Amino acid sequence: MNFHVMTLFPEMFEACMNISIIGRAVENGIISINTVNIRDFSEDKHKRVDDYPYGGGAGMVIQPEPVYKAFGYLVNHIKLSKDDPGSFKKPRVVYVTPQGYVFNQNMAYELSQEEDLIILCGHYEGIDERVLEMIVTDYISIGDYVLTGGELPAMVLIDAIARLVPGVLSNEASAEFESFKDNLLEYPQYTRPEVFMGRRVPEVLLSGHHAKIEEFRRQQSIARTYERRPDLLENAVLTEEEREYLTRLIFQKNFDIYS
Ligand code: 4FD
Protein backbone atom coordinates (compact mmCIF):
# COMPACT_ATOMS: atom_id res chain seq x y z
CA MET A 1 0.00 0.00 0.00
CA ASN A 2 1.23 3.48 -0.85
CA PHE A 3 0.53 6.48 1.41
CA HIS A 4 0.92 9.93 -0.17
CA VAL A 5 0.92 12.92 2.16
CA MET A 6 0.40 16.54 1.11
CA THR A 7 1.90 18.72 3.83
CA LEU A 8 3.88 21.87 4.63
CA PHE A 9 6.09 19.85 7.00
CA PRO A 10 7.40 16.71 5.28
CA GLU A 11 10.28 16.53 7.82
CA MET A 12 7.78 15.43 10.47
CA PHE A 13 7.11 12.23 8.49
CA GLU A 14 10.77 11.64 7.69
CA ALA A 15 11.50 11.91 11.43
CA CYS A 16 8.79 9.47 12.56
CA MET A 17 7.94 6.94 9.89
CA ASN A 18 11.30 5.18 9.37
CA ILE A 19 11.40 3.62 12.83
CA SER A 20 9.99 0.54 14.53
CA ILE A 21 7.31 -1.57 12.83
CA ILE A 22 6.26 1.02 10.24
CA GLY A 23 9.93 1.75 9.38
CA ARG A 24 10.57 -1.95 8.82
CA ALA A 25 7.47 -2.30 6.62
CA VAL A 26 8.76 0.60 4.48
CA GLU A 27 12.21 -1.03 4.27
CA ASN A 28 10.64 -4.33 3.23
CA GLY A 29 8.61 -2.58 0.51
CA ILE A 30 5.24 -3.66 1.97
CA ILE A 31 4.15 -0.03 2.29
CA SER A 32 5.57 3.28 1.08
CA ILE A 33 5.16 6.78 2.55
CA ASN A 34 5.65 9.53 0.01
CA THR A 35 5.43 13.21 1.00
CA VAL A 36 4.70 16.19 -1.24
CA ASN A 37 5.56 19.65 0.06
CA ILE A 38 2.67 21.98 -0.76
CA ARG A 39 5.07 24.95 -0.54
CA ASP A 40 6.96 23.64 -3.59
CA PHE A 41 3.84 24.51 -5.62
CA SER A 42 3.62 28.16 -4.52
CA GLU A 43 4.00 30.59 -7.43
CA ASP A 44 4.60 33.44 -4.96
CA LYS A 45 8.10 34.96 -5.02
CA HIS A 46 8.33 34.48 -1.23
CA LYS A 47 6.89 30.94 -1.48
CA ARG A 48 3.87 31.97 0.57
CA VAL A 49 0.95 29.54 0.64
CA ASP A 50 -1.44 31.29 3.06
CA ASP A 51 -3.38 34.54 3.28
CA TYR A 52 -5.95 36.34 5.44
CA PRO A 53 -9.49 34.94 5.53
CA TYR A 54 -12.15 36.75 3.48
CA GLY A 55 -14.76 38.10 5.89
CA GLY A 56 -12.17 38.65 8.58
CA GLY A 57 -11.34 36.57 11.63
CA ALA A 58 -8.26 35.18 13.32
CA GLY A 59 -5.48 33.20 11.67
CA MET A 60 -4.49 32.41 8.13
CA VAL A 61 -6.00 30.18 5.45
CA ILE A 62 -4.03 28.02 3.01
CA GLN A 63 -4.69 29.15 -0.56
CA PRO A 64 -6.33 26.78 -3.04
CA GLU A 65 -3.80 27.06 -5.87
CA PRO A 66 -0.70 25.39 -4.36
CA VAL A 67 -2.89 22.61 -2.95
CA TYR A 68 -4.53 22.00 -6.33
CA LYS A 69 -1.18 21.98 -8.13
CA ALA A 70 0.40 19.64 -5.58
CA PHE A 71 -2.61 17.33 -6.01
CA GLY A 72 -2.27 17.34 -9.82
CA TYR A 73 1.41 16.52 -9.54
CA LEU A 74 0.70 13.72 -7.10
CA VAL A 75 -2.06 12.06 -9.11
CA ASN A 76 0.20 12.10 -12.16
CA HIS A 77 3.00 10.56 -10.11
CA ILE A 78 0.67 7.77 -8.96
CA LYS A 79 -0.52 7.15 -12.54
CA LEU A 80 3.05 6.93 -13.82
CA SER A 81 4.01 4.49 -11.05
CA LYS A 82 1.59 1.84 -12.39
CA ASP A 83 3.02 -1.03 -14.45
CA ASP A 84 -0.45 -1.50 -15.92
CA PRO A 85 -1.97 1.92 -16.77
CA GLY A 86 -5.39 0.24 -16.89
CA SER A 87 -5.14 -0.50 -13.16
CA PHE A 88 -5.18 3.22 -12.30
CA LYS A 89 -8.25 4.42 -10.47
CA LYS A 90 -8.81 7.77 -8.75
CA PRO A 91 -7.28 7.48 -5.28
CA ARG A 92 -9.25 8.46 -2.18
CA VAL A 93 -8.17 11.78 -0.66
CA VAL A 94 -8.49 12.09 3.12
CA TYR A 95 -8.51 15.56 4.69
CA VAL A 96 -7.64 15.36 8.40
CA THR A 97 -9.68 17.95 10.23
CA PRO A 98 -11.50 18.39 13.54
CA GLN A 99 -14.65 18.72 11.38
CA GLY A 100 -14.39 15.13 10.07
CA TYR A 101 -16.03 11.79 10.86
CA VAL A 102 -14.36 10.40 13.98
CA PHE A 103 -11.85 7.71 13.01
CA ASN A 104 -12.31 4.16 14.26
CA GLN A 105 -11.02 0.63 13.66
CA ASN A 106 -13.67 -0.13 11.01
CA MET A 107 -12.56 2.91 8.98
CA ALA A 108 -8.93 1.74 9.35
CA TYR A 109 -9.92 -1.70 7.93
CA GLU A 110 -11.77 -0.15 5.03
CA LEU A 111 -8.94 2.23 4.10
CA SER A 112 -6.35 -0.59 4.36
CA GLN A 113 -8.00 -2.12 1.24
CA GLU A 114 -6.85 0.83 -0.93
CA GLU A 115 -3.68 0.52 -3.04
CA ASP A 116 -2.97 4.28 -2.88
CA LEU A 117 -4.21 6.75 -0.27
CA ILE A 118 -3.68 10.51 -0.34
CA ILE A 119 -3.76 12.36 3.00
CA LEU A 120 -4.02 16.15 3.02
CA CYS A 121 -2.71 18.01 6.08
CA GLY A 122 -4.03 21.46 6.96
CA HIS A 123 -2.56 24.13 9.20
CA TYR A 124 -3.51 27.55 10.57
CA GLU A 125 -7.29 27.91 10.29
CA GLY A 126 -7.45 25.33 7.50
CA ILE A 127 -7.54 25.24 3.70
CA ASP A 128 -9.70 27.25 1.26
CA GLU A 129 -13.02 25.39 1.00
CA ARG A 130 -13.14 25.44 -2.82
CA VAL A 131 -10.13 23.20 -3.36
CA LEU A 132 -11.40 20.83 -0.65
CA GLU A 133 -14.70 20.51 -2.58
CA MET A 134 -12.71 19.69 -5.70
CA ILE A 135 -10.32 17.01 -4.42
CA VAL A 136 -11.32 15.61 -0.98
CA THR A 137 -13.30 12.33 -0.83
CA ASP A 138 -13.19 11.69 2.97
CA TYR A 139 -13.16 14.06 5.95
CA ILE A 140 -11.64 12.37 9.01
CA SER A 141 -10.96 13.52 12.59
CA ILE A 142 -8.85 11.49 15.02
CA GLY A 143 -10.86 12.78 17.99
CA ASP A 144 -12.53 15.80 19.52
CA TYR A 145 -9.57 18.09 20.11
CA VAL A 146 -7.65 20.65 18.07
CA LEU A 147 -3.97 20.40 17.12
CA THR A 148 -1.69 22.92 15.42
CA GLY A 149 -1.47 20.82 12.25
CA GLY A 150 -2.83 17.77 10.46
CA GLU A 151 0.53 15.96 10.43
CA LEU A 152 0.14 14.07 13.72
CA PRO A 153 -3.41 12.97 12.79
CA ALA A 154 -2.07 11.84 9.37
CA MET A 155 0.57 9.74 11.11
CA VAL A 156 -2.07 8.26 13.42
CA LEU A 157 -4.09 7.21 10.36
CA ILE A 158 -1.04 5.77 8.60
CA ASP A 159 -0.04 3.76 11.66
CA ALA A 160 -3.54 2.40 12.28
CA ILE A 161 -4.08 1.53 8.60
CA ALA A 162 -0.58 0.19 7.85
CA ARG A 163 -0.63 -2.37 10.69
CA LEU A 164 -3.66 -3.97 8.99
CA VAL A 165 -1.81 -4.42 5.66
CA PRO A 166 -0.78 -8.09 5.29
CA GLY A 167 2.90 -8.59 6.17
CA VAL A 168 3.33 -5.47 8.31
CA LEU A 169 2.78 -7.30 11.60
CA SER A 170 4.10 -10.82 12.20
CA ASN A 171 1.46 -13.49 11.51
CA GLU A 172 0.95 -14.34 15.19
CA ALA A 173 0.69 -10.68 16.17
CA SER A 174 -1.91 -9.94 13.49
CA ALA A 175 -4.08 -12.94 14.40
CA GLU A 176 -3.64 -12.49 18.15
CA PHE A 177 -3.81 -8.73 18.59
CA GLU A 178 -7.29 -7.94 17.46
CA SER A 179 -7.68 -5.41 20.23
CA PHE A 180 -11.24 -4.60 19.18
CA LYS A 181 -12.24 -8.21 18.64
CA ASP A 182 -15.98 -8.58 19.33
CA ASN A 183 -16.04 -4.83 20.12
CA LEU A 184 -14.43 -5.44 23.53
CA LEU A 185 -11.35 -3.85 25.08
CA GLU A 186 -8.20 -5.97 25.42
CA TYR A 187 -7.70 -7.98 28.64
CA PRO A 188 -4.77 -7.11 30.99
CA GLN A 189 -1.33 -8.62 30.32
CA TYR A 190 1.25 -9.87 32.83
CA THR A 191 4.86 -11.02 32.55
CA ARG A 192 7.62 -12.01 35.00
CA PRO A 193 8.11 -11.73 37.91
CA GLU A 194 5.21 -13.66 39.48
CA VAL A 195 5.19 -11.22 42.41
CA PHE A 196 5.97 -7.52 41.92
CA MET A 197 6.09 -5.38 45.09
CA GLY A 198 3.71 -7.79 46.77
CA ARG A 199 1.26 -7.96 43.84
CA ARG A 200 0.69 -11.45 42.44
CA VAL A 201 -0.09 -12.32 38.84
CA PRO A 202 -3.68 -13.72 38.74
CA GLU A 203 -3.39 -17.40 39.77
CA VAL A 204 -5.38 -18.78 36.81
CA LEU A 205 -2.75 -17.51 34.33
CA LEU A 206 -0.14 -19.78 35.96
CA SER A 207 -2.44 -22.83 35.95
CA GLY A 208 -1.85 -23.95 32.35
CA HIS A 209 -5.62 -24.55 32.12
CA HIS A 210 -6.30 -23.02 28.71
CA ALA A 211 -10.10 -23.02 28.83
CA LYS A 212 -10.07 -21.36 32.27
CA ILE A 213 -7.51 -18.78 31.07
CA GLU A 214 -9.67 -17.99 28.04
CA GLU A 215 -12.75 -17.56 30.26
CA PHE A 216 -10.83 -15.32 32.70
CA ARG A 217 -9.55 -13.10 29.88
CA ARG A 218 -12.98 -12.74 28.29
CA GLN A 219 -14.43 -11.76 31.67
CA GLN A 220 -11.65 -9.21 32.21
CA SER A 221 -12.35 -7.78 28.73
CA ILE A 222 -16.06 -7.51 29.48
CA ALA A 223 -15.55 -5.95 32.94
CA ARG A 224 -13.04 -3.46 31.57
CA THR A 225 -15.28 -2.49 28.66
CA TYR A 226 -18.24 -2.02 31.04
CA GLU A 227 -16.08 0.13 33.33
CA ARG A 228 -14.24 2.28 30.78
CA ARG A 229 -16.17 2.15 27.49
CA PRO A 230 -19.77 1.08 28.18
CA ASP A 231 -20.72 2.61 24.80
CA LEU A 232 -18.92 -0.28 23.06
CA LEU A 233 -21.09 -2.94 24.75
CA GLU A 234 -24.03 -2.03 22.52
CA ASN A 235 -22.29 -3.87 19.61
CA ALA A 236 -20.31 -6.42 21.64
CA VAL A 237 -20.41 -10.05 20.51
CA LEU A 238 -21.08 -12.12 23.67
CA THR A 239 -22.10 -15.71 24.35
CA GLU A 240 -25.12 -16.52 26.50
CA GLU A 241 -22.79 -17.17 29.48
CA GLU A 242 -20.94 -13.92 28.90
CA ARG A 243 -24.22 -11.95 28.83
CA GLU A 244 -25.04 -13.52 32.19
CA TYR A 245 -21.61 -12.54 33.53
CA LEU A 246 -22.19 -8.94 32.39
CA THR A 247 -25.65 -8.85 33.99
CA ARG A 248 -24.20 -10.09 37.29
CA LEU A 249 -21.45 -7.49 37.04
CA ILE A 250 -23.99 -4.69 36.57
CA PHE A 251 -26.12 -5.94 39.49
CA GLN A 252 -22.98 -6.23 41.62
CA LYS A 253 -21.93 -2.65 40.84
CA ASN A 254 -25.42 -1.31 41.62
CA PHE A 255 -25.41 -3.30 44.86
CA ASP A 256 -21.98 -1.79 45.74
CA ILE A 257 -23.34 1.72 45.20
CA TYR A 258 -26.43 1.22 47.40
CA SER A 259 -24.75 -0.63 50.28
N1 4FD B 1 -8.90 16.04 15.54
C2 4FD B 1 -7.41 17.24 14.02
C3 4FD B 1 -7.02 17.44 12.72
C4 4FD B 1 -6.31 18.60 12.38
C5 4FD B 1 -6.02 19.52 13.38
C6 4FD B 1 -6.29 21.76 11.19
C7 4FD B 1 -8.59 22.71 9.96
C8 4FD B 1 -7.06 22.74 11.81
C9 4FD B 1 -7.08 18.18 14.97
C10 4FD B 1 -7.83 21.72 9.35
C11 4FD B 1 -8.19 23.21 11.19
C12 4FD B 1 -6.68 21.25 9.97
C13 4FD B 1 -8.20 16.03 14.42
C14 4FD B 1 -5.06 21.23 11.85
N15 4FD B 1 -6.40 19.28 14.66
N16 4FD B 1 -5.38 20.69 13.16
O17 4FD B 1 -8.18 15.06 13.69
Longest dimension (CA), the chain: 74
Question: For 128, what's the count of Cα atoms within 13 Å in the CB-facing half-sphere?
Answer: 16
Task: Find the 122 Cα to ligand 1 centroid distance in Å.
Answer: 7
**What is the rounded average pLDDT of the residues 196-221?**
98
pLDDT over threshold 70, residue 67: yes
Alpha-helix residue ranges (DSSP H) falling in the chain: 10-16, 20-27, 64-80, 105-111, 129-135, 151-162, 171-176, 210-228, 240-258
Give the model's confidence band at 125: pLDDT under 50 very low, under 70 low, under 90 confident, else very high.
confident
- In angstroms and rounded to an integer, the radius of gyration of the C-alpha atoms of the chain is 23
Nearest atom, ligand 1, residue 121 CA:
12
Q: What is the dihedral of CA 21, 18, 162, 39, to 10 degrees?
A: 160
Quick one: how far is CA 149 from the chain centroid? Answer: 16
For ligand 1, atom 7, name the residue with the nearest CA.
Answer: 126
Residue 179 confidence (pLDDT): 66
**Does residue 143 line the site of ligand 1, with CB under 6 A?**
yes
CA 39 – CA 121 distance, rounded (Å): 12
Give the model's confidence band at 174: pLDDT under 50 very low, under 70 low, under 90 confident, else very high.
confident
Residue 178 confidence (pLDDT): 64
Give the model's confidence band at 144: pLDDT under 50 very low, under 70 low, under 90 confident, else very high.
very high
Is 19:51 a contact under the CB 8 Å cutoff?
A: no
Mutate to test the pocket of ligand 1, among 123, 142, 146 (most ligand atoms within 8 A of CB): 146
- Sequence-distant (6+) residues with CB within 8 A of 190 are 201, 202, 205
- DSSP summary character for residue 188: P
Give the model's confidence band at 217: pLDDT under 50 very low, under 70 low, under 90 confident, else very high.
very high
Walk me through the domains of the chain, giving residue ranges and CATH numbers.
2-171 (3.40.1280.10), 181-258 (1.10.1270.20)
- DSSP summary character for residue 101: E
Backbone angles phi, psi at 160, to 5 degrees: -65, -35
Residue 173 confidence (pLDDT): 77
CA 47 – CA 36 distance, rounded (Å): 15
Residue 171 confidence (pLDDT): 81
Mean confidence (pLDDT) of the chain: 96
